[in-house]
Amino acid sequence: MKRLRNYVLYIFVLLAYQFAAVCPVTEKEILLQFKGNISSDPYNSLSSWDSSKSVCQDFSGVFCNPTGNVHKILLWNTSLAGILSPALSGLKYLRILSFFGNKFSGNIPIEYGDIDTLWKMNFSSNSLSGQIPDFLRKLYYVLSEDAITPNLDLFLELASE
Ligand SMILES: *[C@@H]1O[C@H](CO)[C@@H](O)[C@H](O)[C@H]1NC(C)=O
Ligand SMILES: *[C@@H]1O[C@H](CO)[C@@H](O)[C@H](O)[C@H]1NC(C)=O
Ligand SMILES: *[C@@H]1O[C@H](CO)[C@@H](O)[C@H](O)[C@H]1NC(C)=O
C-alpha cells in the first residue's frame, strides 16, 4: 500500500513538473531570472526587483505599456556585472533594452533574436565579447561598426518599426 502511495505521488510530481515546464513563466519570473545572473550590483540598483513587488510599479528601470507588459528596461551607469540572461527573450512586448554603462560580460544571447518587438538596444560601455549575433545584423540598421572593438561595444537601432 505504501509503495502504491509513493508511486502515485511520484506520478503526480512528474506531472506537476511537466506542467511547470510548459506553463509560460510570468514577466516577473523572467526579470528575476535576469537578476539571478547578475553577479555584482554595487549600488543596489536592483533591490526593488523582488518577488513581493509589482513589476510595473516598483521594479526600478522597468517600464510597462498600458496593458501592463514590460516594454522598456533602462539600466544606466549601474555597474551591474554578470551575464545577460537569455530569459529576457520571454518578454514578448519588449521594445527598448538600454544597458549603457554596466559591466555585463559574455555574449549577447542569440535568444534575443526571438523578441519580435525589440527595436532598440544600447549596450555601450559594457564588457561584452564575442561575435555580433547574426540576427542583430539582419534586424538592425544602425550598427556602429566603428564602435566594435575586441570588446563588443555597440548601439543598435532598427530602421523602421
Ligand atoms: C544564469 O542563471 C541560470 C538560471 O536562471 C543558471 O542556470 C545559470 O547557471 C546562470 N549562469 C551564470 C553564468 O550565472
Ligand atoms: C554615465 O556616467 C558617465 C560618467 O560618469 C556620465 O558622463 C554620463 O552622463 C552618465 N550617463 C547617464 C545616462 O547617466
Ligand atoms: C547609449 O545610451 C547612453 C545613455 O542614453 C548614451 O549616452 C549613449 O550615447 C548611447 N550610445 C550610443 C552609441 O548612442
- Residue list, ligand 3 pocket, CB within 6 Å: 76, 98, 100, 122, 124, 144, 155
Ligand 1 within 6 A of CB of 81: no
pLDDT at 147 over 50: no
CA of 79 to the centre of ligand 2 (A): 11
Which pLDDT tens digit goes with each residue over 124-138? 788 887 777 766 665
Of 9-18, 111-120, 135-144, which gets the smallest average pLDDT? 135-144
Q: Which of 88, 104, 106, 107 lies closest to 96 in space, CA to CA? A: 88
pLDDT at 120: 77
CA trace torsion 126, 131, 137, 141 (10° rounding): 30
Residue nearest to atom 13 of ligand 2 (CA): 76
Residue 154 near residue 127, CB atoms below 8 Å: no
pLDDT at 24: 62
pTM: 0.77
Percent of the chain exceeding pLDDT 70 equals 66
Residue 64 near residue 56, CB atoms below 8 Å: yes
pLDDT at 6 over 90: no
CA of 51 to the centre of ligand 3 (A): 30
Residue nearest to atom 6 of ligand 1 (CA): 37
Q: Best substitution site from 121, 122, 142, 153 to test ligand 3's pocket, by max atoms within 8 Å of Cβ?
A: 122
Percent of the chain exceeding pLDDT 90 equals 45
Which has more confidence, 81 or 154?
81
Which pLDDT tens digit goes with each residue over 61-95? 999 999 999 999 999 999 999 999 999 999 999 98
For residue 49, what is its C-alpha cell? 526587483
pLDDT at 122: 81
